[in-house]
Amino acid sequence: MALMRWVFAAVLLTLAGSVVAAGIELREFDDPVMEQRYRDLTSSMRCPLCENQAIDDSDAPISGDMRERVYQLLQDGQSDIEIINHMVQRFGEYILYNPRLENRTYLLWGLPIGLVVLGMLVVVLMVRARRNASAKALSAEERARLDALINRERSS
């Protein structure tokens, strides 16, 4: 039992160690707003090498370089948009988890909205068609047939 506990503790320690190792350099921020911007920027950029990791939790050397650059540019007083442009200029649109709205991405951003609008249009048309059909006045022939049916019902 004691052995089990030891093994368990060792496993936990190893796991914790690897988490700390993957954890990223400590950075000093005087300004909590800037710290938040740093977190937002580094979590919104994809590591170009490892493909499905944001640069804020990637061990790849290039991710470290990119974090360092984001930090430096923040210290230089650049805006978020300037920093994003700086990175996209070098590594391409690929690194953005949220592609920017431009000619190439109109379809990407527009298609879901377009499909929802189309769906709503279809529903509206269907409802209207059904309403029209039920509100249609009876023709003379139909009215005569209806009267006949009602009279038969009454007389029986």
86 touches 74 (CB < 8 A): no
Task: Write each residue from 109 to 148 as x if it is in contact with other proteins (CB under 8 A), else as -, in one continuous string.
Answer: --x-------------------------------------
92 binds other proteins (CB under 8 A): yes
How many residues touch other proteins under the rule CB under 8 A: the total is: 16
63 touches 115 (CB < 8 A): no
32 binds other proteins (CB under 8 A): no
Residue among 24, 54, 88, 96 that touches other proteins (CB under 8 A)? 88
61 binds other proteins (CB under 8 A): yes
Cβ closer to other proteins: 52 or 139?
A: 52
How many C-beta atoms surround the C-beta of residue 7 within 10 A? 10
